Amino acid sequence: MPKFRILVIDDEAAIRDSLRMTLEYEGYECILAATGPEGLTLADRELPDLVLLDVKMPGMDGLEVLERLRAAHETLPVIVVSGHGTISTAVEATKKGAFDFIEKPFASDRVLLSLRHALDQRQLRDENRTLKRAVEVRHQMIGDSAALRSVMTAIGKAAPTNATVLIQGESGVGKELVARTIHRNSLRSRERFVQVNCAAIPEELIESELFGHEKGSFTGATEKQTGKFEQADRGTIFLDEVGDMSPKTQAKVLRVLQEGEVERLGSARTIKVDVRVIAATNKNLEEEIEKGNFREDLYFRLAVIPIYVPPLRERPEDVPLLVRHYMDYFCRESNARPRRITNAAMEALSRYRWKGNIRELRNTVERMMIMAPGDTIDLPDLPGAVRTPGATTGGRVAAPAHAVSGASEAVAPGTLREFKDNAERAFLVQKLREHGWNISKTAEVIDTPRSNLYKKLEQYQISQESDG
């Protein structure tokens, strides 16, 4: 816990000393000033966390000091202390932005309590601000290519309307990010954004998940459950992987879109819902319609505004911006030292084909930041596949047996060691796939440090490109 630093501005030496004793006894660091101007200089130089300020001082009086402090240090809390405690001084001090007003003679408990309140409030506000900034950055869309700009234009047009949006594009291109950005910029932004991953929910549960059910409507329905459509009332529902819905569910969703009402399983009552639908898929729905897997009428309902997010390899100019963005992000996230990156490394990253798109790029940058030993990231710090494109095309199938167990020791086939390595590799690939190649999450689930997981990826030459 950092020591809070308190600046006391008071012309009476006795008061300064007694406050210093009390504060230091409580573990605060104390700085003293005998005049207003001295206090202002110390505030600039020492950046205190809080100021205790006397009103009646020769020269510049406390209220003027307060005004100047507020102007120069907007968020610095000031507690005003005065022996001439008329109501009007208290009111004026509060109007000028004092956090609290304490009358002299004061009990030290009173001062300490007010101090704690002010510091708590300041900390909360700072935390809030950090959190908010983290959320904003997480949802920021980075890129300046013509392709991404036209996606942003489409988002801008779609956002203020109530129209259904269908977002298509390969895995990892940012479809979910687009959906969230639309919601955040819509008139519904204060309401909920409810996400449903249609591919992840077992067929027999998806209807109850979407529409809800009454108690006892099927075996296992021990409690009533409201569905996602109801939960999203007045807000947005995001039907992710919509191409994976069964024909039966497709028919029901179509009905909700047409009628604007849902029926819980086991209930004949219909419930009106006001929901905006955004859907996404990495399948080619036009092809799925041809194959008879997706209803054409539902497709037309969903694709009122279609948005296609192009793969990263078609907009390589975005790569440097994304790499820098994620270098900053991971540096902040893990409090690591900032790194530079050489032009050669950046060029290799821009040339790479990024089959896993931005998710793969993000994972690669995270791994680089953990694994690179120096302050500068250069070609040798990049994964082999990025450094020498083409070398690993064909992935693990084409990789020679020794690549599997690490380059240093070639192992004869059929040994225990080889068996163990193969099993470990297969396990890791499976877990990574299950968690969408999210390294942090996978590491957490299999209970190993991220750095160890990265070492294993390196050792077994596992990448989303070859194993995704």
Ligand X SMILES: Nc1ncnc2c1ncn2[C@@H]1O[C@H](COP(=O)(O)OP(=O)(O)OP(=O)(O)O)[C@@H](O)[C@H]1O
358 binds, among Mg ion, ligand X, none (CB under 5 to 8 A by kind): ligand X
Sheet holding 29-33, edge to edge: 29-33, 5-9, 50-54, 78-82, 100-103
Which region among 11-19, 58-66, 141-149, 449-457 touches ligand X (by CB under 6 A)? 141-149
Does the protein bind ligand X through residue 142 (CB under 6 A)? yes
Among 387, 311, 277, CA closest to 342: 387
Nearer to ligand X, 295 or 315 (CB): 315
Site for ligand X in 249-288 (CB under 6 A): 282
Residue 340's DSSP bridge partners are 376
Token code pair at residue 241: 């992987």
Q: Which is nearer to Mg ion, 244 or 421 (CB)?
A: 244
∠255-212-251 over CA atoms, to 5°? 25
Report the largest interatomic distance among the alpha carbons of the chain, rounded to a whole angstrom: 91
Among 7, 78, 158, 177, binds ligand X (CB under 6 A): 177
Give the contacts of 310 (CB within 8 A, at least 6 positions apart). Answer: 147, 148, 151, 169, 173
Residue closest to ligand X, measured at CB: 174
Residue 430 token pair: 């499976």
Residues that bind Mg ion in the complex, under the rule CB under 5 A: 176
32 contributes a contact to ligand X by CB under 6 A: no
| Phi, psi angle pair for 60, to nearest 5° | -85, 125
Q: Which does 177 bind (CB under 5 to 8 A by kind): ligand X, Mg ion, none?
A: ligand X
Residue 290 exposure: Cα atoms within 13 Å on the Cβ side: 5
CB of 138 to ligand X, least distance (A): 7
Asked if residue 358 binds ligand X (CB under 6 A), the reply is yes
Say whether residue 196 binds ligand X (CB under 6 A): no
Tell me which amino acid residue 321 is.
L
Cβ closest to ligand X, residue 57 vs residue 312: 312
Check the CA dihedral 53-59-64-70 and report its sign.
Answer: negative
H or E stretch including 376?
strand 376-377
Q: Does 199 bind ligand X (CB under 6 A)?
A: no
Residues between 98 and 117 that touch ligand X (CB under 6 A): none
Contact in structure between 163 and 304 (CB atoms under 8 Å): yes
Among 359, 365, 461, 465, contact with ligand X (rule: CB under 6 A): 359
Question: Applying CB under 6 A, which part among 65-73, 136-144, 212-220, 346-354 lies near ligand X?
Answer: 136-144
**Across the strands, what pairs with 263?**
270
Region near ligand X per CB under 6 A, out of 56-64, 169-177, 242-250, 443-451: 169-177
| Integer Cα distance of 31 and 202 in angstroms | 64
Smallest gap, in angstroms, from Cβ of residue 311 to ligand X?
10
Binding track, positions 361-390, relative to ligand X; x by CB under 6 A: -x----------------------------
Q: How many residues bind ligand X (CB under 6 A)?
A: 17
Selected from 175, 213, 301, 315, the binder of ligand X by CB under 6 A is 175
Residues 260 and 273: beta-carbon distance below 8 Å: yes
Binding mask 288-327 for ligand X (x = CB under 6 A): ----------------------------------x-----
Please state the closest distance from residue 436 (CB atom) to ligand X, in A. 6
Query: Binders of ligand X among 401-440, rule CB under 6 A?
Result: 436
Checking DSSP bridges between strand 5-9 and strand 29-33, what pairing results, if any?
Answer: parallel
* Residue from 119, 141, 265, 348 in contact with ligand X (CB under 6 A): 141
Least distance from C-beta 89 to ligand X, angstroms? 53
Nearer to Mg ion, 93 or 245 (CB): 245
Tell me the window of 137-145, 285-293, 340-348, 370-378 that interacts with ligand X (CB under 6 A): 137-145
Q: Taking a C-beta distance cutoff of 8 angstroms, is the pair 385, 466 a contact?
A: yes
Q: Are 262 and 230 in contact (CB under 8 A)?
A: yes
Tokens found for residue 60: 């510049």
Span interacting with ligand X, options 104-112, 255-263, 330-338, 358-366, rule CB under 6 A: 358-366
Q: Smaller CB distance to ligand X: residue 295 or 359?
A: 359
| Strand locations in 275-344 (E) | 276-281, 305-308, 340-341
Q: How would DSSP label each residue in 173-189?
A: SSHHHHHHHHHHTSTTT
Does the footprint of ligand X cover residue 173 (CB under 6 A)?
yes
The pair of structure tokens assigned to 49 is: 């966390």
What is the C-alpha separation between 269 and 261, in angstroms, rounded? Answer: 10
Name the minimum Å distance from CB 284 to ligand X.
13
Residues in contact with ligand X by the rule CB under 6 A: 141-143, 169, 171-177, 282, 322, 358-359, 362, 436
